[in-house]
Amino acid sequence: MTEELYDVVIIGAGPAGLQAAINAVRKKATVLVLGRPERSSLYKAHIENYLCVDGVREGAELLAVGIDQVQRFGAEYSPEDVLHIEHASDTFAIRVESGKTIKTRSVIFATGTSRKKLKVKGEKELSGKGVSYCVDCDANFYRNAKVVVVGNESAAVDGALTLLGYASEVHLVTKEIAVSEELQKKLLESGITVHRDTWVAEILGENSVEGVLLENGTQLEVEGIFIELGAKGALELATSIEVQLDSETFTHIDCNKKQQTNITGVYAAGDIAGHPYQMAKAVGEGCVAGWEAANYALKQKRTEG
């Protein structure tokens, strides 16, 4: 990645994000796509109901073609997770797992919405009573408490590092850490107790979390468990810069027919923007979002000059 102010940064490397990149770069905007294709719900899907697709195609194959296509068109691509985003004046600062901060005139959220669950005993019963899925949202409730984070990827490691500023004791439970070298180094240099090659078997407690039982037989006495499976959630990132969610379910980003959100320069496309969760819809919304974001950014650039 080059050190520059991008016109458009797209968070998400699924069909919505890749189509947005194609349309934005065709407008002569400078474009960066962030994310891993395996995060997309399309990755493990089999596609046969999409226009001009003959027979059954593997989702992973289509995404690989798409990533190659956006780069051939002139967009940059980096398979990194986004950890934080800040909005200052007319630009946005996006911090990725490698530690780099990327600046951009506009942002397109093009990621999925679901929060993965552990599906273990005690999780459902103690949800909101010590079980959390958002470190940034709930860390403040665990000042001077003992907590555990479970997960293998950037959201888990970054979450555990964040909790060091609040909790008295932080544990990380992981099968296999899959993050950048920079993030691994930060973890090793921190005071976090890492439990490797194991997983949470049960969450313990009656009316609130009192501990967790690991698959290797270890029992940890903690007051909170943060389930951070995968990348930082798009809704979490969006609301951190005051992007509004839909008023009915609060599970999608609210946007208009131009894919614009309530924050100038921020757009949303694909599953994150609402039902139906279909590739055709995602591509269509990505097309609109890429076009609109590029138009906005290029207009901003002209006023800067």
User: In CATH, what number is assigned to the domain containing residue 88?
Assistant: 3.50.50.60
Within this chain, do residues 147 and 217 fall inside the same structural domain, yes or no? yes
Within this chain, do residues 27 and 76 fall inside the same structural domain, yes or no? yes
Distance, CA of 172 to CA of 195 (rounded, Å): 6
Residue 123 in any domain: the answer is: no
Partner residues linked to 146 by β-bridges: 169
What letter represents residue 91's amino acid?
T
Within this chain, do residues 64 and 28 fall inside the same structural domain, yes or no? yes
Distance, CA of 128 to CA of 115 (rounded, Å): 14
pLDDT of residue 260: 98
CA distances from 8 to 17, 97, 104 (A): 11, 19, 6
Within this chain, do residues 83 and 108 fall inside the same structural domain, yes or no? yes
Within this chain, do residues 18 and 95 fall inside the same structural domain, yes or no? yes
Pairing mode of beta strands 211-214, 200-204? antiparallel
Which residues, in sequence order, are CB contacts of 103 under 8 Å at separation 6+?
A: 4, 5, 6, 91, 92, 93, 94
**Least trusted range by pLDDT, from 4-13, 27-36, 116-125:** 116-125
Q: What global pTM score does this model have?
A: 0.81
Within this chain, do residues 87 and 170 fall inside the same structural domain, yes or no? no
Residues in the chain: 305
Query: Where does the pLDDT of residue 129 fall: very low under 50, low under 70, confident under 90, or very high at 90 and above?
Result: very high
pLDDT tens-digit series, residues 147-159: 999 999 888 999 9
**Alpha helices per DSSP H over 145-217:** 154-163, 181-189
Higher pLDDT, 119 or 31: 31
Instruction: Kindly state the average pLDDT of the residues 49-58.
Output: 87
Within this chain, do residues 245 and 108 fall inside the same structural domain, yes or no? yes
Pick the closest to residue 98 from 186, 200, 18 (CA basis): 186
Within this chain, do residues 240 and 98 fall inside the same structural domain, yes or no? yes
Which residues, in sequence order, are CB contacts of 85 under 8 Å at separation 6+?
A: 92, 93, 94, 95, 107, 237, 240, 241
Percent of the chain with pLDDT over 90: 75
Range of the domain at 136: 131-227
Residue 46: pLDDT over 90: no
Last residue of a domain, one of 227, 247, 277: 227
Distance, CA of 224 to CA of 291 (rounded, Å): 43
CA angle 155, 160, 166 (to 5 degrees): 130
Residue 121 in any domain: the answer is: no
Residue 253 in any domain: the answer is: yes
Q: Report which secondary-structure segment, H or E, holds 65.
A: helix 59-73
Residue 136 in any domain: the answer is: yes
Q: How many domains does the chain have?
A: 2
3-class state of residue 13 by DSSP: coil
Pick the closest to residue 17 from 271, 296, 302 (CA basis): 271
Q: Strand order in 200-204's β-sheet? A: 200-204, 211-214, 219-220
Within this chain, do residues 201 and 273 fall inside the same structural domain, yes or no? no
Instruction: Kindly state the average pLDDT of the residues 174-188.
Output: 93
Q: Report which secondary-structure segment, H or E, holds 146.
A: strand 146-150
In the 8-state DSSP scheme, what is residue 283? Answer: H
Residue 1: pLDDT over 70: no
Positive or negative, the CA dihedral 239, 145, 121, 154 is positive
pLDDT of residue 28: 97
Q: Is 249 exposed, middle or buried (0-12, 13-18, 19+ CB in 10 A)?
A: exposed
